[in-house]
Structure 1
Amino acid sequence: MELRKLLGSRVLERLASSRRFAALTGAGVSAESGVATFRDPNGLWAQFRPEELASMEGFLSNPERVWQWYQYRRHVIERVLPNPAHRALAELETLVPEMTLITQNVDRLHQRAGSRCVLELHGNLEENHCADCGMPYCDQIRDDSPPRCLACGGLVRPSVVWFGEMLPADVLQEAECTARRAEVFLVVGTSAEVYPAAALPFLAWQHGATIIEVNPTPTPVSSIAHASIREKAGSALPALVELIAAVRTTDGMG
């Protein structure tokens, strides 16, 4: 009942009748699975600035260090599981005609939870490609140093977006199209300060979407949100998705 009151009748009506849903997720969602946020590294890696570990300059300066950092992150992600927030978003996909998940995360926990329509704005940690020719690299890798490209001999790098790099144009274009078409747009576990991803909720709002923010603290999106749920995603999203399921039944609005 409290969530119904927080959302209000107009938002509930949109949740009940809308066909096109979208969500933007950030590091706060994965943090609840035990994935440290990028700016909160542990132990040995805390001594380095993010730019030293996640930029082309850092990679060219010390490819072994950068590669070992990403191998460390990969091993961390292998040991964690999707949390209730990931699973709730995957369930939402089964409840509505169209649900597109736009994520800033690179851990693929959304896919492991069952989400099928996922746009990865910042790439992912599962894939690698040549830093010189761009050829995907699918051979075996080691923890200590990056392999060499089988086509040109260049250094192989993780397929993630580094500082100073553009987002994949095709993915960003699809994300912007999704935002323009969305009738309901969820903003979950993100500070909404990293552009161009942070512009997507505003784009959706400008095109008439109902904006629902799920974040423990206010963000720039709070100023346009039709409802802000001040909880962690792991507790808020299951309740929200359960409510969406209820209001989309014939008697759910009663």
Structure 2
Amino acid sequence: MNVATMNKEFPTAAAAVGNVHNGASLAVGGFGLCGVPQVLIDAVYGTGASGLTLVSNNCGTDGRGLGVLLESGRVERVIASYVGENKEFARQYLAGELEVRLIPQGTLAERLRAGGAGIPAFYTPAGVGTQIAEGGLPWRYGADGSVALASPPGETRVFDGREYVLEEAITCDFALVRAARGDRHGNLVFRRSAANFNPMAAAAGRITIAEVEELVEPGELDPDQIHVPGVYVQRVVELTPEQAAEKPIERRTTKGTAD
């Protein structure tokens, strides 16, 4: 492979997500609103794609993060760890408009990581003795509040006297992530807690698209500091300074000045 073909930079976010199609599955980095690839999410909204399956820790907030896609009725299914601060997420789930598969947070991270590593499944103690293993977890409600679709029982097995449940790996058609720094070969570096689910999501995408706050030339990143190697990334979009600076949080809490 020559240097020209290793250049994964796309001119715009719209161009990078241009082939996201109806019914596509997307693994999306972020935790709350921290490390969320907002520019790429907005670009996916611009494609008009619907019937999407989203795999992410949560679904942003009302009007932010993946909440943008949720509010527009583009989402068919969400695989996540919690509902969080998104009231519309909760409303659609309870009203039977949305299928939601809630997974323990560590299990979700490992399922994404396993997908990127080519490991089809693994056993974990998380969820044993609950509806995760026993089945019956509501995936979709009916309009009357009844459970229209429930999770099936999980396969369990005992190792050294302890029970474990089998969890399958997750891979998606696309992955959307945000990095602090990246190069044109797709190598990515995250900043502190903004890493969160981004490395696992990046590994789980068949086509991984990264928005980066600072794009540098290949060779400028210290190899020992790279969090996601370029082999996992197919497309890179450099953010404008204004886009890179926009980093909303769910709740701003300040401490009053002592009298």
Larger relative contact order (Cα-Cα within 8 Å, sequence gap ≥ 6): 1
TM-score w.r.t. the length of structure 2 is 0.35
Question: Which protein is richer in helix relative to its size?
Answer: 1
Question: Which protein is richer in strand relative to its size?
Answer: 2
